[in-house]
Structure 1
Amino acid sequence: MPVTPPPEYIVRPRLPGSRGQRVLATLLGMALLTASFALGWALAPHTTPPASRAAADTRELRALKQQLAILRSDRQVTRVATDALRRTLADRGAEIESLRADLAFYTRLIGGDERTPGLSVAAFGLRALPGTRGYTFVVTLLQTARGGTPVHGTLHLALEGVQNGRAVRYGWAQLADAQQRDGLPFAFKYFQQLHGMLVLPAGFVPARIHLDLKPEGGAALTRDLPWASALAGKDTTHVPQNP
């Protein structure tokens, strides 16, 4: 029976810097790598992820839109309030002017302004008819004679102005319609309003208005008014009618 020879052992000397040193070097390298990564992270600028940044921008945009809507709403409310205040002030101004006109009218009616008693023109209003050369007018006549004697007569109106470069005058018969060409009759005790209409001739530019009052049994009365002033004058329809 053959005999198995014993194993051979080879003895090798352990070199310096063996396994322990290698492990230590490996750990040291990993530590240096980790430190380098951490240092680079600390020094590098941190940026917000795109999704988070988009969400933040959306929230900011929504907040700005809300603020803008609030400001616009406040501005609109302020504008409405300002317009309402202006209209109120304008209405109050018109009301004050109307009351002043009423006061002046009734003061003259009772003779409280110490003017010469008799027939007079208290007010004259002129309005254009849109799209035509026609105008409507309202004349308020007043009598301040004490005792209240009724007065009767007719009113005629004439215009002076320029036509084709020449000064011309048109009488009432040339301006009024067929029903009013004989004049506007009046008959009252204290005051009365007369309504009429006139049509300007083609090419005629009026400058002045002449009112001729011819009471029965009394002296005629003439009053001249600038056309522009009468056209821009105050409305006289607030004066009550004589029943």
Structure 2
Amino acid sequence: MSSERKSSEEYVVIRHRPGYRLRRTAILLVFSVVAAVIGYTTGMAQGGFRFSSVEASKEVLEEEVAKLREEYTEARQRVINLDRGRAIDQQALKQARTTIVELETRIASLKSDLTFYKNIMAPSETSKGLQVDSFTLDRDRQPDAYDFKLVLTQVGNNKSYISGVVAVNVIGLRDEEKEVIALRDLSEDIDDLGVKFRFRYFQDVEGLLVLPEGFEPLEIQVVAQAEGRKSSQAERTFEWDDLTEN
């Protein structure tokens, strides 16, 4: 039985070649390295093409950016120039308007002066001799204080002087009762009840008046009395509200 088993077994004879496995491993390693080098070289070639494209695109973008920056600078300069021009135009327009207002004010003042002198030199038949021409009030910085100006004129015959006194009274209410206060008691610029005047054409009486506490002014009464050869009297009453409405 054992002899049959032995006869049926076959044996394979393999030739022993020392170093064969080592050489095969080395050859595979070399092929792997060569393949890697070829792949790297190909990739570099392709990568070099893409790099060149990126460089070209970068240059184009840089040119575009530079162009846009230049256009932006030019546009900004135009805006600055327009702003400066507009500011100059606005300033010039403002100055022109100011000049126009000043000229209109001056013209109105000259017309008023012209009318004033015309009335003095060429009066109507009903307005000759001593006249109370005007009384004006302007608010002062002090509370209840006003700068006043009274203008007296001699209309018609101006060859000689006219002289006399003028009295100014402020009529109003205090504690709901009528009260008359002389200008002398309201202004330190007036010393007497009657202010003396002497002139040929006109004379101004100016100063500062301060209203007492609790006094409500209603009217200003002016009475001018000429003395001597041209003796005459002129009276005029001015509403307080009309004088202070501006």
- Can you list the C-alpha shifts for 1:17-45, whole angstroms capped at 9, x where unaligned? xxxxxxxxxxxxxxxxx9xx9xxx9xxxx
The answer to whether 1:129 aligns with 2:140 is yes
Q: 1:83 to 1:228 in 2, by over 3 A?
A: farther
The answer to whether 1:143 aligns with 2:154 is yes
Q: Give secondary structure in 2 for the equivalent of 1:208.
A: strand
Q: 2:221 aligns with which of 191, 210, 213?
A: 210
- Can you list the C-alpha shifts for 1:120-164, whole angstroms capped at 9, x where unaligned? 022333333323433332222111243644322222222234556
The amino acid that maps onto 2:227 is E
The answer to whether 1:68 aligns with 2:72 is no
Q: 1:110 aligns with which of 118, 121, 132?
A: 121
Give the structure 2 partner of residue 223 of structure 1. Answer: 236
Task: Give % identity.
Answer: 25
Give the structure 2 partner of residue 193 of structure 1. Answer: 204
Q: What are the ranges of 5 or more consecutive residues in structure 2 without an aligned counterpart?
A: 1-45
TM-superposed CA distance for 1:50, in Å, is 5.0
Cα distance in 2 for partners of 1:179, 1:168 equals 19
Q: 1:204 to 1:50 in 2, by over 3 A?
A: farther
8 Å CA contact 2:120–2:201 kept in 1: the answer is: yes
Q: Which has the larger radius of gyration?
A: 2
Give the structure 2 partner of residue 175 of structure 1. Answer: 186
Cα distance in 1 for partners of 2:75, 2:176 equals 66
Q: Give secondary structure in 2 for the equivalent of 1:77.
A: helix
Q: 1:204 to 1:63 in 2, by over 3 A?
A: farther
Q: 1:158 to 1:47 in 2, by over 3 A?
A: farther
The amino acid that maps onto 2:240 is W
Q: Give secondary structure in 1 for the equivalent of 2:149.
A: strand
Cα distance in 2 for partners of 1:219, 1:212 equals 11
8 Å CA contact 1:148–1:190 kept in 2: the answer is: no
Q: 1:160 aligns with which of 149, 165, 171?
A: 171
Q: 1:70 to 1:195 in 2, by over 3 A?
A: same
The amino acid that maps onto 1:71 is L
Cα distance in 2 for partners of 1:228, 1:82 equals 36
Cα distance in 1 for partners of 2:167, 2:158 equals 27
Cα distance in 1 for partners of 2:90, 2:175 equals 49
Q: 1:64 to 1:118 in 2, by over 3 A?
A: same
Cα distance in 1 for partners of 2:69, 2:245 equals 59
8 Å CA contact 2:189–2:207 kept in 1: the answer is: no
Cα distance in 1 for partners of 2:76, 2:176 equals 64
Q: TM-score, normalised by structure 1?
A: 0.64
RMSD over equivalenced CA pairs, Å: 3.4
Give the structure 1 partner of residue 22 of structure 2. Answer: none
The amino acid that maps onto 1:220 is Q
Q: Give secondary structure in 2 for the equivalent of 1:220.
A: strand
Cα distance in 1 for partners of 2:133, 2:189 equals 27
8 Å CA contact 1:107–1:113 kept in 2: the answer is: no
- After superposition, residues 7-86 of structure 1 pair within 5 angstroms as 51-86=62-97
Cα distance in 2 for partners of 1:190, 1:129 equals 29
Larger helix percent: 2
